[in-house]
Amino acid sequence: MQKTGTFDGMPGSELRHDPVQRRWVIVASERGRRPVEFSRASSVREGGVGRCPFCVGNEGLTPKEIARYGSGPGGDWKVRVVPNKFPALRVEGELRRSAAGQYDRMSGVGAHEVIIETPDHGREMADLPVEHLALVLRAYRDRIVDLRNDTRLKYILVFKNSGLDAGASLPHAHSQVMATPVTPRTVVMELVAAREHYRLKERCIFCDIMEAEHEAGSRVVLMDAHFTTHCPYASRFPFEMVVYPRRHMADYVRCDDELLMHLARHLKEVLRRMNKALNNPGFNMVLHTAPSVNGAPLRSSYWDTLEADWHWHFEILPRISNVAGFEWGTGFYINPTPPEDAAAFMRQVDL
């Protein structure tokens, strides 16, 4: 079979641009299995406890550690950051752009890291003590700060797939960090909408949404002094949630350790309510922070400054309904559960 997915002979992935949807896709040949292995497969790549590379004692099974948090005198740790063993993008190599006939491509330069949230195989994010979860949230922040030093990279995505249904390849609790040489399309759309709203009203669109949600109340899941979580008015999925900092704040990296402790407390309760309401569903969580290049305060080739019109937030998407062809082919969603019902249900849960 023809070997492709390489860029000028360099092994690895490449980015390809779809001229109709104007979307970049990572085509990562090295992650590929043989096509025949795809039939009905969604298998876990490596074994269970004992052989799990994220478990304490198996540190040697991961690539060289980037950072660790909460280490004690005995060499133990609470959170570890390591490169992804099967990276979709690689730090090595030059960022090269070229035409491929009428198409456009880019070498697969970037970063792909794993944040191991706990040494304990059986614990989920919601089970972690608040102080421990705060370390995970600090790792998110610190990786963004560090990766922004690489001027080739346009955006740093922090996300979590929890459960095999949600795309996790290993059950041991972990998050991922992916730094990409393009700004993802969904983020660009949000940036454009936020920018236009600000130009028109000189107000942050997210602050406006938060105020409307607090006034209505019906979609609020949890609110405290520092953070608020609600089910969006036009939720795509049942029980979809967004977590906003209540104070206007464009960039996640501005969170100090104290604020991250508040965030950990808030997030833990949100996840526990979701788990109780939906019987521990698989879920995805994605951080949308401001794009920033080279550590500069919120500056990029696209956007002069986002201090005023961006507002970082998490999206939480429980995986309880199958997205069907209608949604894939159209970007148009059918949500069978009104977000008001979902929020009320999660508010009423006994923890």
Catalytically active residues are: 174
Contact 305, 340 (CB under 8 A): no
- Residues 107, 118, 180, 228: which binds a second copy (CB under 8 A)? 180
The answer to whether 103 contacts a second copy (rule: CB under 8 A) is yes
Residue 216 makes CB contacts below 8 A (sequence gap 6+) with none
CA torsion 296→301→307→311, rounded to 10°? -110
The answer to whether 342 contacts a second copy (rule: CB under 8 A) is yes
Contacts 24+ apart (CB under 8 A), 233-236: 233/339, 235/335, 235/337, 235/339, 235/342, 236/327, 236/333, 236/335
Query: Residue 225 or 234: which CB sits closer to a second copy?
Result: 234
User: Helices 339-348 & 257-278, crossing angle to 10 degrees?
Assistant: 100
Separation between Cα atoms, residue 317 and residue 240, nearest integer Å: 5
CA neighbours closer than 13 Å in the CB half-sphere of residue 140? 29
Stretch 55-74 residues interacting with a second copy (CB under 8 A): none
- Residues 54, 140, 239, 303: which binds a second copy (CB under 8 A)? 239
Stretch 254-283 residues interacting with a second copy (CB under 8 A): 277-279, 281, 283
Residue 348 makes CB contacts below 8 A (sequence gap 6+) with none
The nearest distance, CB 344 to a second copy, in angstroms, is: 6
Residue 265 makes CB contacts below 8 A (sequence gap 6+) with 130, 224
The nearest distance, CB 101 to a second copy, in angstroms, is: 5
Contact 281, 163 (CB under 8 A): yes
Separation between Cα atoms, residue 107 and residue 5, nearest integer Å: 10
The nearest distance, CB 98 to a second copy, in angstroms, is: 13
The answer to whether 184 contacts a second copy (rule: CB under 8 A) is yes
The nearest distance, CB 206 to a second copy, in angstroms, is: 8
CA neighbours closer than 13 Å in the CB half-sphere of residue 219? 23
Stretch 160-179 residues interacting with a second copy (CB under 8 A): 160-161, 164-168, 176, 178
Of residues 253, 221, 259, 216, the one with CA closest to residue 239: 221
Query: Residue 93 or 232: which CB sits closer to a second copy?
Result: 232
Stretch 215-234 residues interacting with a second copy (CB under 8 A): 215-216, 218, 232-234
- Residues 57, 199, 331, 350: which binds a second copy (CB under 8 A)? 331
- Residues 10, 31, 56, 248: which binds a second copy (CB under 8 A)? 31
Residue 158 identity (one-letter amino acid)? V
Structure tokens at 307: 């201090």
CA neighbours closer than 13 Å in the CB half-sphere of residue 55? 13
The answer to whether 44 contacts a second copy (rule: CB under 8 A) is no
The answer to whether 43 contacts a second copy (rule: CB under 8 A) is no
- Residues 9, 36, 57, 225: which binds a second copy (CB under 8 A)? 36
The nearest distance, CB 71 to a second copy, in angstroms, is: 28
The answer to whether 115 contacts a second copy (rule: CB under 8 A) is no
The nearest distance, CB 22 to a second copy, in angstroms, is: 6
26: left (phi over 0), alpha (psi -120 to 50) or beta: beta
- Residues 8, 11, 18, 71: which binds a second copy (CB under 8 A)? 18
- Residues 54, 77, 244, 345: which binds a second copy (CB under 8 A)? 345
The nearest distance, CB 314 to a second copy, in angstroms, is: 9
Q: Which residues pair with 112 in a beta bridge?
A: 178
Q: Which residues pair with 156 in a beta bridge?
A: 179
Binding to a second copy by CB under 8 A, coded x per residue (else -) over 121-160, reads ------------------------------------x-xx
The answer to whether 95 contacts a second copy (rule: CB under 8 A) is no
